[in-house]
Structure 1
């Protein structure tokens, strides 16, 4: 797959000028230099695969948030031709709502508060909200940013 991939930094949303291919990838050093200046959620090298993607051959694993355990998402992932792994998880509590206001705005924080379940917001709850008719997808993306930035692990890291 690497011969069919191109890479950019930062995220294509920012209309980057820096691109690379696998054997000429100067983007890692650029990302390391830029890290102090760029938001953590945007500090990654974006990959674009050109052509077909064979999950059994090209994908090492699909990594899910633990909030998807025992859901239709886990069932669907298990049917794929690659292993399923779990990361430590994200959960944002009501205590982080003010940080969310400062980071992604009052509307995002208000929506995050509405989506709390037992005082906690997880990626699964954001995903369920995205399925609702008339859901504001851009606003939900901002809510997801808050969960990813201010959420704590569901599973303690060892």
Structure 2
């Protein structure tokens, strides 16, 4: 399905924004594009049927897709205070190096910690990109960086499970990215690029049609989505501190960015958790934005009283872990980060809870609890 007068413009933009990619990165993009091309006919049929049954005007839908391709940004979620193997924080590395690195380079992940040759992430990337990154001579720096396409513009980002803060990239970066409907480690059937995006739109419309929800948005119908995309994607970014979080842990369009992500050229906005305000980490985040000309916003944050932490969401050990790391009777993102830092510096102090890997997993799960059940941080400031 080509969007009236848009096909040639998109091909020109894609060519322009993929010029600096390596052979392996271009190969990955081509592989996913060809895969989506094979599924195009079925996807187009699904789109046609759902638009018809939902009484959505075809031209309005086509305009919504044009708005995605010209305005939608990819969000990269991260925890700024996590330490790499040499005990440098993510924020410090970003400030010093000016680039956002892949998990194969940092050995850090808010998802699967398996970025090494022959590991689970390596194997699913081989499947996803047709072995593009398993070719001889491919370096770790060439590997894709993972984010989520920000269509709904939730204040806490499209995939907050992966980090308390997030960068919003220039829309041009989206043209050198591949997409999967939901997390790539699950080997989803629907994949695409901006050159072949029908599979993504068909999956999105189908979920809305069947569930009345998608991408963390409840009570969502096809017309409501189309109206939102046509209007809100073109609006200036709003103050996140005044917007309620959507707490979307599980439903997103994953984006795999191919090529370098340079803070100066590719990042437009940083949305940070307010628990870092006034802390050393927060000061570094502010320096990053000043040095690389990035707009800084703060969202509402997440905080939670210790005695409200449930034992039936992410495991029965969550209440005791929350009690251990809390200050003034509550937890927030910076407290979880401080615990992760202490674990790295003094793993022996945490042996009563397990190995370093096990405790890091617990802290990751506690962050999920905080996103799901936490309240705005301003309610907890004493």
Equivalences, count: 153
1:8-157 aligned at under 5 Å gives the runs: 8-23=180-195, 24=197, 25-26=200-201, 27-29=203-205, 32=208, 35=213, 40-80=248-288, 81=292, 82-98=294-310, 101-131=311-341, 132-133=343-344, 134=347, 135=356, 136-155=359-378
Measure the CA separation in 1 of the matches of 2:362 and 2:277: 25
Does the CA-based 8 Å contact 2:180-2:191 persist in structure 1? yes
Q: Structure 2 stretches of 5 or more lacking a match?
A: 1-172, 217-246, 348-355
Q: 1:110 to 1:66 in 2, by over 3 A?
A: same
Measure the CA separation in 2 of the matches of 1:155 and 1:106: 28
Does the CA-based 8 Å contact 1:92-1:122 persist in structure 2? yes
CA displacement at 1:29 relative to structure 2: 2.9
Q: 1:150 to 1:13 in 2, by over 3 A?
A: farther
Measure the CA separation in 2 of the matches of 1:31 and 1:128: 39
**CA displacement 1:61-118 (0-9 Å, x = unmatched):** 11111000011222222222112210011001124222xx111111122211211111
Q: Structure 1 stretches of 5 or more lacking a match?
A: none
Measure the CA separation in 2 of the matches of 1:88 and 1:31: 29
Does the CA-based 8 Å contact 1:9-1:45 persist in structure 2? yes
Bigger-Rg structure (1/2):
2
Measure the CA separation in 2 of the matches of 1:126 and 1:31: 34
Q: 1:97 to 1:79 in 2, by over 3 A?
A: same
Measure the CA separation in 2 of the matches of 1:92 and 1:153: 9
**CA displacement 1:37-70 (0-9 Å, x = unmatched):** x993011222111101122332221111100001
C-alpha root-mean-square deviation of aligned residues, in Å? 2.3
TM-score for both structures, normalised by structure 2: 0.37
Does the CA-based 8 Å contact 2:275-2:301 persist in structure 1? yes
TM-score for both structures, normalised by structure 1: 0.83
Q: 1:155 to 1:18 in 2, by over 3 A?
A: farther
Does the CA-based 8 Å contact 2:306-2:319 persist in structure 1? no
Measure the CA separation in 2 of the matches of 1:54 and 1:149: 31
Q: Mean Cα displacement is larger for which, 137-146 or 70-79?
A: 70-79
SS of the equivalent of 2:278 reads: coil
